[in-house]
Amino acid sequence: MKLCAIARATERSNVVGAVELALGPAGLSLTYLGAGAFGEGYAPGALTSGTRVLVPYAALQSARIDGEQIYLEIDPQLTPLNRLVLTDLSLGQRVHPREKLRRERVFWLASLVGAVVVSLLGALTLPKLAPRAGAAATTLLAALGGALVLLLGSWGSRLLDGGPSEAFLRQAFADELRRYLPSLIQSDRPPEPAPKPELIPSFGALLPRSTAGIVLTLSACLLGALVTGRYVTQQGRTTAQVAEAPPPAVRAPEPEPAGDTPREAPAAPSPVTAAQPSAPREAAQPSSEPQLRTGSGCRCPRSDSLLWPEALPKLSLLSFNHRTFTRGNRTLMYVDIAAVNNSNEEVRELSLNFQFYGRNPDGQRTLGDHRSVYYEGPLGPGQAIKWGVEARGTEFEPLNAPTGTISPSGEGAAAADLLAELLKANHRPVRLHGARLLAYLGDSRALGAATELREALREDEAAFLDRVLWASRPLRVCQLRVEPTGNPRAVQACVYNDEGAPRERLGLKLRALAGQVLSDSPVAAPPLVDAERVFTIDQPLAAGSGVEVRGMLPVDDPARPLVYEAFADRVDLLR
């Protein structure tokens, strides 16, 4: 059996549009004739047309017939458009509802005009054909003639649709589906919609039920208001008195007592005071820091950074402004997603699909909503586009992530002047990404952009921005290699001086992190530092020269997988 149906937008569906169904021994054949993803509060995304999916009956997670609705839920691994509420069944030859309505109106108008014409002709003709008939009989016969024309019009309008009724097709579909899926559920009415939560809670619902409880609650509120008002009033008076008081007089130093009068021992210095004189002595003892053994010369075209552990993608997807909230009995997530074209080729059209997930109390992942975003383009080199997405879930991932990367040499990347325009974007994460791209290309504007962004530093951007600053400085660290096993672990790197002057008293800070850095989420929480150590380099670096260094790094947990990063600077600035 092959049927056409319309997927409706309801609370339990994520598809809207026209589909075609066919039942067979191999499974349910589902063809999207013009369907798109649907979410509550969102317009449908890009339409899918002509896509056919064969669904084995074992992959039908739920099948119900509720009144005039057919509900099908398919395994999301087969298709993201997996929850359908189907109505308006037909054999595929039914006239479009708008065209059918137009034809019915024309047919009824013609029938009405015909009835009026027949009634008038009958009223004028009958007296001549039957002179003995009275006026009442003439009027009655004319009215019967008009009614007969209307009856014929009503009967003819039913022939416009042709084909069996929707109820017959729905029952036939249910009977055939039950042959392959005995667990099919059928009821007389669709499920009741979920009640909408009250936006303004009732104050009476917050009060206790007993009279004593109500009295105690209101008394506590009144007492709290009085105490708070008194405290605010006293604080205002104290502030006014301090502002009006004259500054304290400076006392002259008392003279030293003469003779052998015993003097009080000086008070012990505070920890801050005691630490101040020791700082220069520590800086003057470089031998207290672990040393790095130096080797042959080397060169760094670019600093290694966890912001680009691999080649940069041609199209980056940035996520920021994550917010999770509850609406009714559902946990929803709002996130801003920006797409940035890093390449030198324009993107003509952009259609992305995202699957959202939640977590049950056991920490297992549960399926949430599916969302689609679309941009008709073109998206030129160095340009960005942003969407705001709201869906049921607490985390998400793209289903059709863009492919293609930029070569490590920077070939294929957008021009640096175009990428510098990202520094003027409305959203700071996009500006941070622009500084990251300039640092990757070795553009001198990256350091200035990162410094300017740091002047208005936000707490969740600190880790990302610090890495951009280190990667933009002329003292570079590259070719970092750390042994994956053992404790301590052997470390090897290249430190290169790209400045125009020699550098002395250099050091290397090496970190071991217990997790990956999310380079495409500038405001994501950074991974924890498992181990950190500052090494001294026992030789100066001339301008435009580099040296290989080797050392050992102890770690806290040798079994934990770690990632590593290193920065070079004057050794006293790295502590």
Which residue in 79, 12, 52, 497 sits closest to 298, CA to CA? 497
Q: What single string gives the DSSP state of each residue in 102-171?
A: HHHHHHHHHHHHHHHHHHHHHHHHHHHH-TTS-HHHHHHHHHHHHHHHHHHHHHHHTTTT-S--HHHHHH
The dihedral built from the CA positions of residue 304, 310, 316 and 321, taken in this order, carries a sign that is: negative
User: How far is Cα 10 from Cα 17, in angstroms, rounded to an integer?
Assistant: 12
Strands (E), 328-412: 330-341, 350-359, 365-375, 384-392, 395-398
| Cα-based distances in Å from 93 to 25, 39, 107, 169, 441 | 25, 30, 20, 13, 60
The domain made up of 2-94+166-187 has a fold known as PH-domain like (2.30.29)
The pLDDT of residue 289 is 58
The pLDDT of residue 186 is 85
- The class level of CATH for 287-303+474-575 reads mainly beta
The pLDDT of residue 204 is 56
Q: By three-state DSSP, how is residue 290 classified? A: coil
Q: By three-state DSSP, how is residue 324 classified? A: strand
Strand 330-341 relative to strand 384-392: parallel, antiparallel, unpaired? antiparallel
The pLDDT of residue 198 is 52
CB atoms within 10 A of CB 17: 21
199-220: buried (b, 16+ CB within 10 Å) or exposed (e) per residue?
eeeeeeeeeeeeeeeeeeeeee
Residue-level pLDDT, tens digit, the chain, 575 residues: 788 889 888 888 888 888 999 988 888 998 888 888 877 655 556 677 778 889 998 888 889 898 889 999 998 888 888 899 999 888 765 555 666 677 778 877 888 888 888 888 877 787 777 777 777 777 887 788 778 887 877 776 666 555 677 888 888 898 888 888 888 888 888 777 666 555 455 555 555 656 767 777 788 888 888 888 777 777 655 555 544 545 444 444 444 444 444 444 444 444 433 334 434 433 334 445 577 788 888 999 888 888 887 778 889 999 888 889 988 888 899 999 999 999 999 998 899 999 999 988 888 889 899 999 999 888 999 999 999 999 999 999 898 878 888 887 788 899 989 989 998 888 888 988 898 888 888 888 888 888 887 776 667 778 888 888 888 888 999 999 998 888 888 899 999 998 889 998 899 999 888 887 877 777 777 788 888 889 898 888 999 899 999 988 888 777 788 889 998 998 888 87
* Whole-model pTM over 0.75: no
CB atoms within 10 A of CB 168: 11
- Side-by-side strand order, sheet with 529-537: 475-482, 489-497, 545-553, 291-297, 529-537, 506-513, 563-570
The dihedral built from the CA positions of residue 509, 514, 517 and 521, taken in this order, carries a sign that is: negative
**Are 492 and 527 within 8 A, CB to CB?**
no
The pLDDT of residue 388 is 92
The pLDDT of residue 338 is 92
Which residues lie across from 397 on neighbouring strands?
355
Which residues lie across from 444 on neighbouring strands?
none
User: How far is Cα 396 from Cα 389, in angstroms, rounded to an integer?
Assistant: 11
User: How far is Cα 194 from Cα 198, in angstroms, rounded to an integer?
Assistant: 12
